[in-house]
Structure 1
């Protein structure tokens, strides 16, 4: 992160992701028009700290859900609305708005034994060599963090600011999108939804104690 990028992220007036946060704020307050409540109608105490505790275990589904998955579940079960597609403007905007309510809060994954198998599976994926380049996430983001790849600095792979605004994308994107970009980069088969959830769980565990940056800006 260059000083100019850090300054862009820290200033709400300069951070382009705040456009998505503003849209998310409107979605948060808007009822779906079918007699069901708006998000704000149920979550009257706000969402401070919530994003820092996801993924979390869902009792009805008996599996973990990421924040974006939980948003879509609330949309379908509480508001009787069709789920938003992955990477849609609406889903990213609402996730960015909810995440921004926890900006500066330390990441604190739930201490739930039911999550451990998923976290362990995520760590195994993180350390597994994959693709035609035969590389693992750990080889880049631990062993070579701070080095350079094609002129760009290799980051330490800490998922502290998603959804993020990437200059490369000229827009917002989710952590699964970034992970799928990486698998494409090493010429590996795309990860499925369960694998993406497992990897996100491990990355949030790995970032435990760091402060949430949502909505972050990256190169």
Structure 2
């Protein structure tokens, strides 16, 4: 662990240098846009590509079963969401988005929980619970191959700005911002891994480090912990804002849930 921290510290000093954040002139986003898939080792890419071997499909299967199972109140998601009425194919590509009723920014997990509380008279699932991960992964899987396209106008504009600011602000004992790695140094090596552009196209994703499926917010918490900053709670406004910023930043890339990552 100490060796890993030393390597990260060395990377901060050599690769990042004395980068000065300028909120008036944000750094240029990576071009061309590349999914995190492009930075994986060939064997990990092969694992994601094989729907029979990809471990994320264990959660897809659970999510599909939950989607068609009636809750205690007697209703199932599949009763409303059919091919003829409220189809979900492609829907995940437009989240996070502003909820018309509350005016709040919600991600896919938030939409699923709102459906439970508003339309099924059920309690919301806990963030990162197996049930919520499974349903979120299944709904995102229904949009696999759909290019990401989110709205950052109107009420979403402030959220987008907040997410951009979080992405560009140095934090933690290492005094690093997200942009220093994923905009300024993508494609370079860090502890044997290749730094990606930081897109969330594969989430919920199965990470080999976790040996489990996890949400994008779990990955954001890991990133904050990695620079020795205090991670935000799951579902926090900060992480929702970052999720919107990342979605806009990745616009045009396709959803690939369930992704496999290192």
Alpha-carbon distance, 1:200 to partner: 0.3
For 1:49-128, what aligned pairs fall within 5 Å after superposition? 49-110=90-151, 112-128=153-169
Equivalent residue for 2:76?
38
Deviations 1:158-182 (A, max 9, x none): 1111100000000100000100111
1:8 aligned onto 2:47? yes
Tell me the distance in 1 between the aligned counterparts of 2:258 and 2:218: 15
2:257 is equivalent to residue 214 of structure 1 = yes
**TM-score, with length taken from structure 2:** 0.81
- Check if 1:159 corresponds to 2:197: no
Which segment drifts farther, 139-148 or 163-172? Answer: 139-148
1:22 equivalent to 2:61? Answer yes
Please give the residue correspondences for 1:133-212 in structure 2 after superposition, counting only pairs within 5 Å: 133-192=174-233, 193-212=236-255
SS at match of 1:143: coil
**Unmatched tracts of structure 2, length 5 or more:** 1-39
Normalised TM-score (structure 1):
0.96
Deviation, structure 1 residue 19: 0.7
Find the aligned partners of 2:242 and 2:72 in 1 and give their Cα distance.
36
Q: CA deviation at 1:75?
A: 1.0
Q: What secondary structure, in the 3-state scheme, does the structure 1 residue paired with 2:155 have?
A: helix
Question: By how many angstroms is 1:111 displaced?
Answer: 5.4
* Equivalent residue, structure 1, for 2:15: none
Per-residue CA deviations over 1:181-216 (Å, capped at 9, x if unaligned) read 111111112225000000000000000001111110
When structure 1 is superposed on structure 2, of 79-88 and 183-192 the one drifting more is 183-192
Distance 1:111 1:199 in 2: 12
What is the alpha-carbon distance in structure 2 between the residues aligned to residue 102 and residue 3 of structure 1? 24
Unaligned runs of 5+ in 1: none
Which whole-Å CA distance do the structure 2 matches of 1:168 and 1:75 have between them?
Answer: 31
SS at 1:109's partner residue?
coil
Is the 2:173–2:227 Cα contact (8 Å) retained in structure 1?
yes
| Residues 86-142 of structure 1: per-residue CA shift (max 9 Å, x gap) | 111110000010001000110011354221110111001100001111000000111
My pick for the range that moved more, 82-91 or 197-206, is: 82-91
